[in-house]
């Protein structure tokens, strides 16, 4: 909130290990009562987005089954996973989000990098 009050724009990226929406969880239909820390912290993330921040990836991609984490190679091949990785920005950055996606071509780890292109001049 301090950054917002100072009218500074902020982008935070990383593995938050929280599922924000049910469409970000492959097992929701099979296990609707699944209790996991990823889901228990969902309300924390919802409050973050209700206050002053945006989920940059969801600004450009609304469809379900867009996962950034899989437990193993088999789950990755079947696209059975979770979306735990985010780029979160102050609300004023919404119009600067151009496009992006998750880099899934190469396997670096169980997480896929979330890549977002912004319209932002970095020169001073």
| Residue 66 pLDDT greater than 90, yes or no | yes
CA distances from 14 to 28, 50, 121 (A): 23, 19, 22
Q: What is the pLDDT of residues 2-49, one digit of tens each?
A: 666 777 788 999 998 888 888 888 876 555 555 565 666 778 888 888
Q: What is the pLDDT of residues 86-120, one digit of tens each?
A: 999 999 899 999 999 999 988 889 999 999 999 98
Structure tokens, 116: 């977002």
Rounded distance between C-alpha atoms, residue 12 and residue 20, angstroms: 16
pLDDT at site 55: 96
């Amino acid at each position: 909130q301090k950054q917002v009050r100072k009218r500074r724009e902020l982008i935070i990226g990383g593995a938050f290990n929280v599922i924000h929406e049910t469409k970000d969880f492959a097992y929701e239909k099979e296990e609707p009562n699944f209790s996991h820390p990823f889901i228990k912290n969902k309300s924390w993330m919802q409050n973050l987005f209700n206050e002053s921040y945006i989920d940059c990836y969801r600004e450009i991609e609304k469809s379900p089954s867009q996962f950034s984490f899989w437990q193993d190679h088999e789950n990755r091949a079947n696209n059975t996973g979770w979306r735990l990785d985010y780029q979160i920005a102050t609300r004023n950055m919404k119009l600067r989000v151009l496009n992006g996606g998750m880099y899934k071509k190469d396997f670096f780890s169980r997480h896929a990098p979330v890549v977002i292109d912004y319209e932002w001049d970095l020169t001073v």
